[in-house]
Amino acid sequence: MNKIIIITGATSGFGKAAAEKFAAEKWNCIITGRREEQLHAFADELRTKYHVRVLSLVFDVQQRDQVFAHLGNLPEEWRQVDVLLNNAGLALGREHIDQGDPDDWDTMIDTNVKGLLYVTRAVLPYLTARRQGHIINLGSVAGKDVYENGNVYCASKAAVDTLSHAMRIDLLQHSIKVSAIHPGAAKTEFASVRFKGDEDKAAQTYKGFEPLSAEDVAGIIYYTASLPAHICINDLVVTCTAQADGIYFFKQ
């Protein structure tokens, strides 16, 4: 029987590339996002290309009621969830703390931290019922090293780091794996979202070095999810070769 993965934030970037990779490996996919048209079109594409089952659910992870309405009561045939990929997330703005916009702070914390918690809480009953499963959380090097102007985004990813550790401890008794993957700079829609559509600023983010691609990260997620039941990657930091940590780059 095909395995089942839930991927939040599958309309672009890592989530989309991960859905493509898992579908290609014959996993049935529950994909989520807010952009309805893109999400449903992508679901159709995956079904046609890979002949797997795909359930596309449109909701905002910040909205607790929406999260539980969609994920808390999955159709019977979708309840044998093997992997939850908590990927939906974003950065908004890159200013010093005294210049930051509190609305941006709310959105980052509500999405990256509270959204991840709501989704995890809604999905966990399917995993604990079977005493198996795997939660993979997308952290960031930004959660490991604070950089100038990173403030609230870095704090939200540090929270993902801490919560991943906490989940791993609490879920040991249910034989559920918890992995945190912390990528460095990767070229997705991330920078365009962060700079609110300013494509010149977004392009500057990746100038002078070769960043990770969404497919690079998707391959690592797939590897993490494919290890035997007794092996769990707890914490994985991955950067492009031009990046040493959350701060230091070698740019040509």
Catalytic residues: 153
Give the amino acid at 28.
N
Q: Which is nearer to ligand 8X3, 56 or 112 (CB)?
A: 112
Give Cα 147 distance to the centre of its chain. Answer: 21
Task: Give the nearest distance from C-beta 194 to ligand 8X3 in angstroms.
Answer: 7
Beta strands in 72-176 (DSSP E): 83-86, 134-138
Return the one option of ligand 8X3, ligand NDP, none that residue 120 interacts with (CB less than 5 to 8 A, by type).
none
**Alpha-carbon distance 96 to 100, whole Å?**
6
Q: Which is nearer to ligand 8X3, 45 or 189 (CB)?
A: 189
Residues of the shown chain interacting with ligand NDP in the complex, contacts defined by CB under 6 A: 8-15, 33-35, 60-62, 87-90, 111, 115, 138, 140, 183, 185-186, 188-190, 193
Tell me how far CA of residue 30 lies from CA of 52, 133, 149, in angstroms: 11, 15, 35
Q: Which region, judged by CB under 6 A, interacts with ligand 8X3, from 21-29, 47-55, 111-119, 137-145?
A: 137-145
Q: How many residues bind ligand 8X3 (CB under 6 A)?
A: 7
Return the one option of ligand 8X3, ligand NDP, none that residue 224 interacts with (CB less than 5 to 8 A, by type).
none
Interaction with ligand 8X3 in 145-164: which residues (CB under 6 A)?
150
The answer to whether residues 84 and 178 touch, using CB atoms and an 8 Å cutoff, is: no
Q: Which region, judged by CB under 6 A, interacts with ligand 8X3, from 8-16, 42-50, 96-104, 136-144?
A: 136-144
Using rule CB under 6 A, residue 217 touches ligand 8X3: no
**Alpha-carbon distance 12 to 160, whole Å?**
20
Using rule CB under 6 A, residue 239 touches ligand 8X3: no
**Alpha-carbon distance 244 to 215, whole Å?**
20
CA torsion angle for 11, 119, 239, 34 (degrees, to 10)?
A: 20
Task: Give the nearest distance from C-beta 192 to ligand NDP in angstroms.
Answer: 7
**Alpha-carbon distance 32 to 133, whole Å?**
19
Query: By the criterion CB under 6 A, which residues form the site for ligand 8X3?
Result: 140-142, 150, 184-185, 246
